[in-house]
Amino acid sequence: MKLLSVLGLGLGLLTTNVNASEFDQYLHKKGILDSSFKIKKKAELNELLTVLSAEDSRTLPLQIDQNTVIEQLQLSANKTTLKGMITTPDFSQFEKDLGRKEVMKVIRNNLLNNCEIFFEHRYQIENPYKVELTLNSQTQTYKTAISQKDCKLK
Pick the residue with more confidence: 87 or 42?
42
- At 18, which amino acid appears? V
Cβ 19 vs Cβ 26: under 8 Å: no
Q: Is the pLDDT of residue 5 over 80?
A: no
Burial-class residue 81 by CB neighbours within 10 Å (0-12, 13-18, 19+): middle
Distance CA 130, CA 126 (A): 12
Bridge-partner residues for 33, per DSSP?
39
Q: In what order do the strands lie in the sheet containing 130-136?
A: 62-63, 68-75, 79-86, 130-136, 141-147
**What number is the average pLDDT over the span 105-133?**
92
d(CA 102, CA 108): 10
Tell me the sheet residues that pair with 143. Answer: 134
pLDDT of the residue at 11: 29
Q: Which of 43, 15, 34 is nearest to 123 (CA)?
A: 34
Please give the share of the chain, as a percent, with pLDDT higher than 70: 88
Arithmetic mean of pLDDT, 22-34: 96
Whether the pLDDT of residue 91 is over 80: the answer is yes
CATH 3.40.50.720 fits 3-9+12-151, yes or no: no
DSSP 39: B
pLDDT of 15 over the 80 cut: no
The pTM of the full predicted model, rounded to 2 decimals, is: 0.81
Q: What is the pLDDT of residue 89?
A: 83
- Across 66-74, average pLDDT: 88
Domain chopping of the chain, boundaries: 3-9+12-151
Q: Please say whether the beta carbons of 72 and 62 come within 8 A.
A: no
Task: Give 7's pLDDT tier (boundaries 50, 70, 90).
Answer: very low
User: Per-residue confidence at 154, pLDDT binned at 50, 70, 90?
Assistant: low
List beta partners, residue 133: 82, 144
Q: Is pLDDT at 114 greater than 50 in this prediction? A: yes
